[in-house]
Structure 1
Amino acid sequence: MNAPLRRVAISVLVLFTLLILNINYIQVVRSDDLREDGRNTRLLADEYSRERGAIVVDGEPIALSVSTDDRLKYLRQYPQAGLYAAVTGFYSVIYGATGIEKAENALLAGTDDRLFVRRISDLFTGRDPSGGDVVLTLDPAVQQAAMAGLEGQVGAVVALDPTTGAVLGLASTPTFDPNPLASHDLDGVRDTAALLDGADPDPRSNQAISQRYAPGSIFKVIVSAAALEDGYTPETVVPAPQTITLPGTRTEVENFNGSACDPSGQQPLIEALTISCNTAFIQLGIDLGEDKVREMAEGFGMTGERFEMPLRVEGSTVGDIENDAELGVSSIGQQDVQMTPMQAAMVAAAVANDGTLMKPYLVDQLLAPDLTVIDETDPEVLSEPISTDVANQLTEMMTSVVTSGSGRNARINGVQVAGKTGTAENEGPDHNWFIGFAPAAEPQIAVAVFVRNGGGTGGDTSAPIARRVIEAYLDGQEGR
């Protein structure tokens, strides 16, 4: 064989080898990723040939499939539209699945390994295959109160059962109607997606778990926890000057509206939290040191790592701290501190649960098509950032915030509420926060409320929403 032919033969051999390797890579290594890719329309078309399982809240489907006469045998419908859109997401023949529709797709579509026996039975009996149901932990009254409170705002509400981690409410605004995205009218689906693409913010972005913001003064709960664990008590007197100059700089920081926290320039720690004294917490954070503040924040879950419940939650973080000046600003929830509303609710829940943080979860049960339970979530301890004694002291301090401090708008007749307000500076109008739980002595619900660019204070804007959510839940519990 002459040289040119040899080169051609070698080139052909190399190309065939590369082709075989590529085929094996796609079929073996990437097979699961490609099969689970929401853009895989072939897989979606196959799934549409089976009745998809329902997503259920309190016995009622918030997502279900109905039969049609077109080539896609089933149409996905969302009876309550925007009320639960942040949770269900959507299921689209063009854009795939998001939210619980994606996180629990295998069970809903009937391809989950736990339904293998059912699929074999369907094959032999001729029964139409179908998916299983996903039962969520949400409380309808909580969800409705949260969405009503956020109406007209960009924001989020997260409510947790502090003793188990069950998610009682997960609201995000602005919301959207998933039904047009689930339509079989493909041009209509694309038009709807285009409208949402042009919205600011995109309603499909979950403000409760996918976005992080400066938490402002709700971070003072974490700094207070670090101080109490370090030997402070609620009555420990701390410096609280009218202004404070950040170490190593000429930057002077004042309290809200330039007010004096106390004429004496010092006050008990409980009073500093009650009125949310900035200068006191700047100095307190510096005195404690970065290691203690960061360790406490990470104990509450602010590790920067994402987690799933099963929706993916972005990681919250204290951020980089280069010096004492940055530590002081971080100690009042500014600088590079970033938190999701879910993380904020977790802080409140850990204090409410005697210092034990339970891992949040949104799925209560997974049901087979015959409604038998095939899986059930067991509550799981995530961390124990503080002792029971410190949790009790924090509860006393947070109760004071609502009783006589910046959180008065969260007060409920006959119910003792513990909480903390937050007002975070940013490029636009201030963000507004509130975290809390109730009843303070025997907590049943922990709440975080976030309003983006609300422009007021956390006490004015977010605390009243928290009150509505807590009242809705407690009223519902009394009726059961």
Structure 2
Amino acid sequence: PSVFAGNSLKDSDNRQKLLKDKDKPMLNRALRETYPPGSTFKVVTAAAALENGLYDDIDAKTDSPLPWTLPQSTTQLKNEGNIPCENATLREALRVSCNTVFGKVSDDLGNEKMIEQTEKFGFNKEVFTPVRADASIYPEDNKPQNAMAGIGQASNRTTPLQMAMVASAIANDGKLMQPYMVAERQAPNLDPVYTHEPEELSRALSGENAQKVQQMMETVVKDGTGTNARIPGVTVGGKTGTAQHGLNNSEKPYAWFISYAKTDSGSPVAVAVVVEDGNANRDDISGGGLAAPIARDVMKAVIDSKK
């Protein structure tokens, strides 16, 4: 039961303890907090590249020089470590998480097309579950900032719910569905008085392109940065993210993982995990290391519950 459920002095004391807790347990992070999504957003940029015909073959080399300088600047965009990003295919670029490839894709498409694609996934408007969720924002911005937003940084901000919706739409062959909390309400005699009916919000991307992004995400889990999300006997697709936090990345980064899992029977389950202010050392914080195992456990629990 809840530690407070009424207006007694004890309830009030318990509420105050929660409000003062440094971990902020009263904060609805899933719906009301927005974070930079980091490299998890690269699946949206990949979708935009496919939907706009910039690339149509996920295994064909891209036009992605290394090093690559942000447009209208002298700043070179960096990749993490010595990873094979020069002219990498979309599949390989997602597998090893190439900033240069997806930053250039975002720049090649331009801000208007990137906004158009993100809004198909539900960005830039509030979501009701029916509880209100804050809008996730992909902003109108200049060229260098648009390139950075395309890799989930700059002014790109999203709720965990929004990134779960992204993973869900991709797993659902491009259909973005209305999220909901209540599947059924029952009368005292357990007769149903309300049953939720699935509602399609938009077509985020074509079925063909959604399946291409699925292949890319499944490669990430099979032998890329997301191997910690593997579930034996289950098809899992995912994308890691380690998002910068604070002025000049002065705070501990956010560890992200978005994913879906599907079996031969039943609908897929989609998950978004963000680990905020982890206790790990800064150098040990990563989406694959911290967030992916949590996503795996959640997906496995859901799948096991349906057996």
TM-score, shorter chain, exceeding 0.5: yes
| From 49, 54, 58, the counterpart of 1:234 | 58
Q: Which residue of 1 aligns with 2:47?
A: 225
Cα deviation, residue 441, structure 1: 7.1
Cα deviation per residue 1:325-361 (whole Å; 9 max; x = unaligned)?
A: 0111001000011111111110000011110011011
1:199 to 21, 24, 31: 21
1:468 aligned partner: 297
1:363 aligns with 2:185: no
Whether the 8 Å contact between 1:358 and 1:381 is mirrored in structure 2 is: yes
Instruction: Kindly tell me the number of residue pairs found equivalent between the two proteins.
Output: 295
Q: Say yes or no: does 1:416 pair with 2:235.
A: yes
Query: Contact 1:401–1:407 at 8 Å: present in 2 too?
Result: yes
- Which residue in 1 is equivalent to 2:217? 398
Distance in 1, Cα, partners of 2:75 & 2:263? 39
Equivalent residue letter for 1:246: L
Native 8 Å contact 1:273 1:398 kept in 2: yes
Q: For the structure 1 residues 370 and 416, does the alpha-carbon distance in structure 2 shift closer, same or farther, using more than 3 Å as the test?
A: closer
1:316 aligns to what? 136
Distance in 2 (alpha carbons) for counterparts of 1:441 and 1:325: 43
Name stretches of at least 5 consecutive residues in structure 1 with no aligned partner. 1-77, 79-177
132, 143, 156: which one aligns with 1:337: 156
Name 2:167's counterpart in structure 1.
Answer: 348
Instruction: Render the CA deviation track for 1:436-470: whole Å, top value 9, x for unaligned.
Output: 11127775211111111334111111111111111
The structure 2 residue matched to 1:377, chosen from 186, 189, 196, is 196
- Aligned counterparts of 2:106 and 2:148: Cα–Cα separation in 1: 9
Shift in alpha-carbon separation, 1:440–1:293, aligned structure 2, 3 A: farther
The answer for the alignment partner of 1:248 in structure 2 is: 72
What's the counterpart of residue 444 of structure 1? 268
The match for 1:307 is 127
Structure 1 SS opposite 2:170: helix
CA contact (8 A) 2:99 2:151 kept: yes
Q: Secondary structure at the match of 1:434?
A: strand
1:242 shift after superposition: 4.1
Q: CA contact under 8 A between 1:274 and 1:401: conserved in structure 2?
A: yes
Q: How big is the alpha-carbon RMSD for the aligned residues of Structure 1 and Structure 2?
A: 1.7
The one-letter code matched in structure 1 to 2:101 is A
- Following superposition, the deviation at residue 375 of structure 1 comes to 1.8
Pair 1:261 & 2:81 matched: no
| TM-score, normalised relative to structure 1 | 0.59
SS at match of 1:370: coil
Contact persistence 1:409–1:464 (CA under 8 A)? yes
The separation in 2 between residues aligned to 1:441 and 1:344, in whole angstroms, is: 24
Give the match for residue 189 of structure 1.
11
* TM-score, scaled to structure 2: 0.91
Residue in 1 that maps onto 2:106: 285
1:399/1:440 contact within 8 Å kept? no
Alpha-carbon displacement from aligned partner over 1:215-235 (angstroms, at most 9, x marks no partner): 001110000001111221202
Q: Deviations over 1:95-125 (max 9, x none)?
A: xxxxxxxxxxxxxxxxxxxxxxxxxxxxxxx
Q: Give the SS at the match of 2:28.
A: coil
Distance 2:50 2:156 in 1: 21
Distance 2:193 2:83 in 1: 59
